[in-house]
Amino acid sequence: MHWDFALILVVLGAAVPLAGRRRVRQLMQLPATTKIDRLSIYSSTIASQITIAAVILWRATAHGWRAPELGLSIPRPALTAAIAILLSLLIFVNQIFSIRRLATHPAGIKGLLPQLALKVFPQDGAERLVFFALVCTVAVCEELIYRGFVQHVAQEFGPDSLMWGIVVSSVFFAFAHLYQGGRGLLSTFLVGVVFASVRFWTGSLLPTISAHFVADLTVGLLAPGRLRAALAAQPADPVSPAASAEDNPS
């Protein structure tokens, strides 16, 4: 394996998860976030995602990788479009169901991720506009990083090209969401397996980019209002930011 590819994998497998977990812990120590805090989170995340994706494109191109090897092509347009629509629809339905289920379970609302959502997700029109840009960036960049680069590297250098690529990319994707706790790691790994399988089947990142976009936008725009309404309907009870660190929305 090329030394620069190995270095990128170390960053993705160790530095990114640890930095994300540390950032979330700092956020959870705040009693609340301001508009400036949220916009700063959005802009810094956009910048970091674009930087990592740009470095990957630079090094992959330097080693002669072409667009199809990164999933940046559509070899079977009809199949790819059909899978993109179906996968996005399934993700949308799952997110709606998960948000409704969470909003009707008081104990779940006090978990780590619901409380994090209330601090991070947009609260007005200007924030929603920047959040939309964030969702677009994350959907494209994370799919390029994990289903484009990591999956292809694993397929190139692993013992079993298909399964090794799917499993390794899913493990890296799950570790990027280390801050979600044990349940979050498992659910994210399973999502990664589905996405990696779709990327291998279609040869394109389009379906997973579409589904990733739908997942993040749906929860980002709908979850905060549902959670606040559910909290307002409950008897007054102080919420501990560190409570139920293992509870996670889908």
Q: Which of 200, 207, 173 is nearest to 187 (CA)?
A: 173
How many whole angstroms separate alpha carbon 75 and alpha carbon 86? 18
In the chain, where the domains are located: 3-232
pLDDT at 140 over 80: yes
How many whole angstroms separate alpha carbon 133 and alpha carbon 123? 15
Q: Which of 44, 223, 37, 213 is nearest to 118 (CA)?
A: 223
Q: How buried is 112 (Cβ within 10 angstroms: 0-12 exposed, 13-18 middle, 19+ buried)?
A: buried
Q: Which of 120, 116, 121, 158 is nearest to 243 (CA)?
A: 116
**Binning pLDDT at 50, 70 and 90, where does residue 129 land?**
very high
pLDDT at 178 over 90: no
Cα angle value 140/227/30 (rounded, 5°): 80
Helix 35-62, helix 3-10: angle, nearest 10: 160
pLDDT of residue 247: 44
**Binning pLDDT at 50, 70 and 90, where does residue 103 land?**
low
Rg of the chain taking only CA atoms, in angstroms:
18
Q: What is the pLDDT of residues 53-67, one digit of tens each?
A: 999 999 999 999 999
Helix 206-232, helix 112-120: angle, nearest 10: 100
More confident residue, 222 or 112: 222
Q: What is the pLDDT of residues 220-239, one digit of tens each?
A: 988 877 777 766 666 554 44
Cα angle value 193/15/247 (rounded, 5°): 55
The per-residue b/e assignment along 15-44, b for 16 or more CB within 10 angstroms, e otherwise, is ebbeebbeebeebbeeeebeeeebbebbee
pLDDT at 108 over 80: no
CA end-to-end distance (rounded Å), the chain:
35
**Which tokens sit at 51?**
């930087």
Helix 206-232, helix 125-142: angle, nearest 10: 140
pLDDT at 161 over 50: yes
Q: Which residue has the tokens 């960049």?
A: 141
CA distances from residue 164 to 57, 186, 211 in whole angstroms, order as listed: 22, 18, 23
